[in-house]
A and B are shown apart, each in its own frame.
Chain A
């Protein structure tokens, strides 16, 4: 017995409900709020959809440190009624020969709670059956909301949740202290984590006045605004941005751009306003990078720049109050910043009481990865790889490649990890080393290389400025990837603790943007050799080296697609015939992209696909594929194709050797007519075996000769992932 048919009875009068939900919590970490807003919205939509209530509903969500807010509009007041038809036993069983209901009929009626008179029969493909109609009354939005809202809150996920009511109590990011849930002005009844929902919210922690009863979202937003809380993050961000701009205009300074910080302070404050402060210009003797980091890192202040770009002795703090009533807040922030800058100055001076190289022994005590040894060990490997790279470059004609400088930069690049400054401001790793190196008279190239060697840290981040920096950056990243793969730390899914994907991306970007001649497999081999030659002397298997190569190529494909906007099929076509040398692969891609626009090319690509299919089916032996016998050709079309192929092949090889891929591809595209004629006039799978094999050999040669730049049979296919 199951509902065979369902009929939805739409109601004529369809009133809509507006709902306000606010989860009042102790301060939620600012970084988690944007995702929580998103999730709250998705959860609401999902659960409303499950109740057939999501049609025409607008869900907006907002947040501030002490609240997560949802505003729903257009929720139907009631679910539609639904009539389900339930089928019972076959008619033949339900009635006896004289048409009297049997026990089966009676018990079906009883089960449905209906008199026998309401039971009727339906015709189905399997015969006639008893049936009954059951009306399922739609529930009210109020009933449903009371059921789903606690679940919506419960289903939010957090990086690290907590309990506060006891071990079996609710889990949330911080304790929930109140809940507002109002539907069309009426409070909803439910509770979560021991807190009952009501229509009463709480304003700003210090400037809000008492509990606030609210009717709907508009009322809520207005009352909160009057009590020191701007509910919408977008409005808070606008306010901060506006005040920063006003300051710049008035003071004639520029605010140091920092979108991430702007977002952070937007979510850190319920009532943000910008406060100006100064610091002693004597601190300007510290490098700008350090000044900005001190202000931003710990204190979340915006730095201020002069028109020339240098840091000015002022800062802008965002406070959670409309104003600094007595100037105490400004005095406090200035005092804290002074102490921080003094610390930084102290680090700057004490760190430099010894030279950067003097930190090398300390690196022996800093673990990189337990099986891969200390940073001291890593430095030795990075040096070896950087030397190898620069030697390669020098011998391939790049005369600025400087082995000794690359070696020196590699030797010093991790020293700052042992300094007080980097221990305090880890985000300044590399930068501090570069600054110290420069201050201590290392050559500019070496200092810049150290400064830049963590770069690029993302798709948009620039690569190191100079060749030495590129060498060290490549060496460092290669060592990380090869080392980690060697001990089984291969990134999976979202887990990539050693940021190997980012490292691979960096390698690809550096090689491509600097157009460096690097054979990926040789470079991997060099890194493997360095890993084996230095303590802790880890071996890398051939299979692991291949795995690293594939990992790098995969990232390279990603960069070429996402950043350089090459097509999926184009990248696959080029990589299929090898991308060991990324710069060369890139050149081939450019040529391929250009030639695709010519009218001959796409049809030719289709023919290549056809050739590949034919050959795959024919399964020719290797020696057969090479044995073309011109005297076995029967028709002019195959003779013409053969001579066109030989002519084109010579030209393609010459152009390719000269690096003129586009010209080479044009020569290939010129084959279109000969290929088309061939397929029109010649049947490849001739009955005579010798003739057939000869034709197949001709096709093999075409594939062999003309797919060294790209495998055209990949082109135009579906996007494959």
Chain B
């Protein structure tokens, strides 16, 4: 255990006498907390997870890594103090950031770290009383939250201390505490709400959709907001001008700070102060009174691993999976019978159902959408609809950009198709008499094309033809064909594994970066070429034919890839 954990443990065990009087067994309490903190320290955080190879040494001091990362995040928050002309605006923004980030981080920690289902089997059969267990859990949550909250808020506290002195710092600290309690309440409420409207089995999916949404929202906000609002406007912005702002908790916290700092008792400020103090108290009360009793029990259902629930009976509920007839039909048109069709349907289902896959691909899809939106805002000389319609100036650029940028989506999805956390299940490919594994790859590639390329093509076509009219069609077709070409080139060159047959952590072997760069470079070169030939119709048509033929040949090449070109998964 590192110094930070030991420190927290010491602090929280100080009121041992009080705990004992409450009926808590201090020895058990200490044992549980020590074990829990030790485990926290060895659980890889997201950054370490990304970097970690199988061969790497085990995770140690995860806590320090997390604290470092969170401190940086806390420094980023300081940006909000550069915005707006008064403290109430700055603090409203700060508290909004703070609550948002804390909530989005803790939302996953609650299931993965703080409420460990294994506790039920390991700790509960031991002679330990409920109060001890409950307090251990509470203190563990407190330590975990503190490890998030302190580094997150310390940069701002230092700023406050320097700028406003002690009179500014103490109210700020108090309000951070209130905001933290409020956030915990928010998460609890959200959990209870999700558990009410859905089944525990779907719970994890919903939480991961939240994560995807948060990731995209952050990225979009980070990219778009500064572009949409000019610097001068930001500096003169005051939140007090918006009526709705005074209904949100961050605004109350900001108002209370003004109240406490300047002892300003003008009308709404004391009300905000009362509201911000009452909010956490009411939150805690609601959590204890309404949520806590059923909460643990319901959470323990989430795992589903222990047969606590009644066994699933045949033909009763449970998820009944059927592949829609339309996909089956589609697979008949697009693929040859046998391995290729099987891989197509398999990929279609896995990409639609695997949480792992969605978590990796959908955020990057979201980033791309954000990028595309930015392109519209970012072109230096403003592009008018007329420009796009007449295909002049930036209009041409935007059109090309849109088409080729959307090919990144497909390439991105394609690069994930070989990975799966259930990679060991790929034994099915090796024990079955598959002659050419290329067919499996082709089936998977086709499924990715249908899933991630067709919708994009449909949207771009509708937009392009809608705005520009039929004269855009040759260029549109060339663009589409080139997108397919890019995809097949990338697939041919980079896919050496069967679909869903390797572990993501193996991905960081050498050359991946180059491959990634390469797969970005190809579309860019083709796009530039296309841009210069844009108005030359005969050449465009010639290239369209060539591109289509190249596509066809490449697909054939992928399909006939033999076993010696495939990395056979290793099973230890």
Tell whether A and B belong to one assembly. no
Contact residues of B with A, CB < 8 Å?
Answer: none
List A residues at the B interface (Cβ < 8 Å).
none
